Each structure stands twice: as structure tokens, then as C-alpha cells.
Structure 1
Amino acid sequence: MLSKNIALVTGASAGFGKAIALQLVQDGYKVIASARREDKLKNLASLYPEDIFPLKLDVSKPLTLQETLDSLPENFQTIDVLINNAGLALGIKPVPHIDLNDWDQMIDTNIRGLIHLTQFIVKGMIERKKGHIVSLSSIAGTYPYLGGNVYGASKAFVTQFMLNLKVDLLKTPIKLTTIEPGLTSGTEFSEVRLKDKEQAQAVYANVDALTAEDIAKTVSWILGLPDHVNINRIEMMPVCQAPGGLTVSKTTD
């Protein structure tokens, strides 16, 4: 890997994104750390002021994406790696007790924002004949569970979009990888989803879950592989987790 390649990491203010940004700096990248919370990005950038550029970016507002990217300093314009990490889950209620605003926000962020940003970035990668796009999906896109509804569907979209994008880019040297983590602690995921800190903490009680650093190390390994190797998908779970079996309900309410 050439030193000082440029990586854009979305959702870099906390959790996976922050851990990935820090790992990539250690790996020799210059990192554009993007998220909505500018104060947290500036704190992150202060750790490596020469190598991390904080970029306030809301992927759920696709009309502003190109203008924001065009505002990058010249020495951060050529993006070699895109980490599509920004995403969220909201609520665990089953249909019909959901809040449609939550569904819309997940679609705007997890799907619409991701595909728009990818479209903007991949054009330059094609021109330069160089690039790697890594998107964070979830095991929720494969294994359904009560209350997963649109969140799981949005992550299934991410996985399938990336696989189809690989076909579109087959005659290019651009790499595409989807990472699908399971239960992961030490992030804001459950706090955002449940809107209750104590309830969120209970999700990870008495389990040895994955960590954001585990995901960051996986990204580092993927990006460090030889040019001819492409990892299509990685499904990750902690040892304490396994896919649930099929369920049959013999009664109806």
C-alpha cells in the first residue's frame, strides 16, 4: 500500500467510523473524517492534525453531498478509499406500531445517502483506475428478527447493491467489500435505536460482543491485501452469537 492514500470515512464521529479513521491513520492514510457532529470531528482531528481532515457531512441530504465534496482542500480531493459507515437503526417496534418518520430516516441515511455518495466518489476512482469501497452492512440484512423490519431491509439493500456494483465495475481494478457485523458493543448504535441509555446498556450485559476496534482491524486487513484480491463479503459475529432457528406460530391473535 502506498503511503498517504486518502480515505473518506462517513459516520466518523463515534463507533465504527471513529475506530476505522484512527486505524487508517496508523496504516499510513490521510483520512477525511465526516459526520454531522462537527465538534466531535474536530476533537478527533486534533489527535492527528496533519492526517485527519474533519468534514461536516450529512449523507441523508444527498443534494448537499457534491457541494460538500467540492469544498475539500486540494490535498484531500483524490479519494482512494471510501468507507460507507454512516447509518442507523431507529426503534424496535413491529408493524403497525412503528413511527414512519423513523423508517424514512433509515432509508434516507442507510440507502439514499450511501448510493448517492458512492456514485459521486466512484466516478473519480474509475477515471484514476484505482479505488476501494467498503460498506458497512449488518447480519440484520440476512437474518430477520422482530422489530428489524426496515433496518434489516436497508442493510440487505446495502449488501445487494455492493454485489451488483461489483458486476458493473468488473472491467475496472476497483475493489468492493461489504462487512456485515453482528452484536457489537462500545458504539452509540443501541442508544440511538432505543433512545434509552440504560436499556441500551442492557443489550450488552454479560456478553463478550464484537468491538468497533474489531471492525477497524478487519477493514485494515481488507485494504492491505494484494491488488488482485477482492473480499466480496465478510459476516462477523461474536462467539456468543448465532443465527436463530426458524419459528412457527400455530395460533393467530
Structure 2
Amino acid sequence: MSHGDRIPSERELAERFGISRMTVRKALNQLVDAGHLERRGTAGTFLPEPAVVRPLSKRVSTAISEVVGQAGHKPGARLLFFEQAQADANIARRLQLDEGAAVIVIKRLRLSDAVPFCVETSYLPQHRIPGLVAADVFAVPSLYALLRERFGMTFATSDFHVSVAAAPEIEADLLGLAPGVGALAMRSTVYDRDGQPAEFLISWNHPDRVAFESLRDDTGPVKSVFTDWASPTL
């Protein structure tokens, strides 16, 4: 079944699994209360449509806040922390920096109609964004728009990897997920128009509120998307 599909009736489910309708009704009520199903009056019970459909393309064309807005929802973001750190070996490799180089780490909770749908951590080369402070990020829904307008940074292409794994404890709590529940994890290196790394992003997405859509563009089909059950690493 896919998002938006109607699930079988209580009677059909009871007959299929050999259980009472009361047991089926109780289970469905729990799934509705948890947001995994939605009731639409006399039409029945359905798998909910994801609040956010995130495009996967090697070309970076639309910020996630714009994706949310174009879908008819109100985008929002809550700054969780902002700090300067030293790039470890993995971050340095992703951003083509020397190990120990200064990076700005920005972690935000992304919202659609005030409902959390993902937690994103961005690693940015500090030398490209001199003077950026937490207050700058706190006040804007789109980090990309801020970086473009203030620092002239462009975001043109990206490499990415998508997997399914249990979210870390903090991210799971922010997204309202029970411990051990699988989330959609995306890791992406974003490049500017000159082909230089501009951002390394780690994004944990709520499995019921986000769907990824693979797009084809004039650079050819997307080849760098992988979906697996391995725990993601940097």
C-alpha cells in the first residue's frame, strides 16, 4: 500500500487475520492517535499523505522551506544550536578542508504547519561565512536564502545517500518517535556553481511525514541514492 491508499475495513481485517473486530478497532484507534493512519469520515481510514515530499536531484534548485510552502503548508524552523567547531577527518574530507579547519555547525528542527518533520545538522566552512552568528539564523526560515543574499553562496549540485535507520535519541525525541523506530536519514554534500563543497548536511526525517522523490534532470538519472537498513555513518 502507498500513501493515500484506503486500508481494508474492520470486518475485512478481522476476517483476514482471524481476530475480533473489537481488537481491530482498538489497534486502528491506536494507529490513528499516533498519526500513522487518518480517518476521513464515512470514506474510511487511509494511510496519510506525507506532509513534505522532498525532491532528490543532483541539481539543487529549491530550499526545503520553499518545498514546504509550495505544497501549501507553512514552513518553520527552530534553531537547536549554533557553534564553531573543528572539522574532524570525515567532515574535512566532505568539505575538502584541512582536518581541524574551522566549521560552523547549525542544527535545526524543521516544521510544516508547526509539526516537526526533520532534524538537520549543517556543517559549513567558516571562512566562507565570516561574521555569521546564531541570531542571523534564528530569524530566518531559509538558511540557503540567508547565505545566498549575505555571502553570495550558491548551491548548485549535490551528492546524497538515503538510508533507513533508528534515529539517535535526541533526534527521535524531537520528532516524536519511539526509541528504535526507523527514520529516513539523508547525508548530502552540496556544491556551489564552481564545484566547491559549500555544505555537508545530515538530515533525520520522520517516516510518516516525509517522502523522498527521485527526480530526473538534464544531467541524467540520479545514481547516488541508496536505500538500506544500515546505520548511517559520516
Higher strand proportion, which one?
A: 2
TM-score by length of 1: 0.26
Higher helix proportion, which one?
A: 1
TM-score by length of 2: 0.27
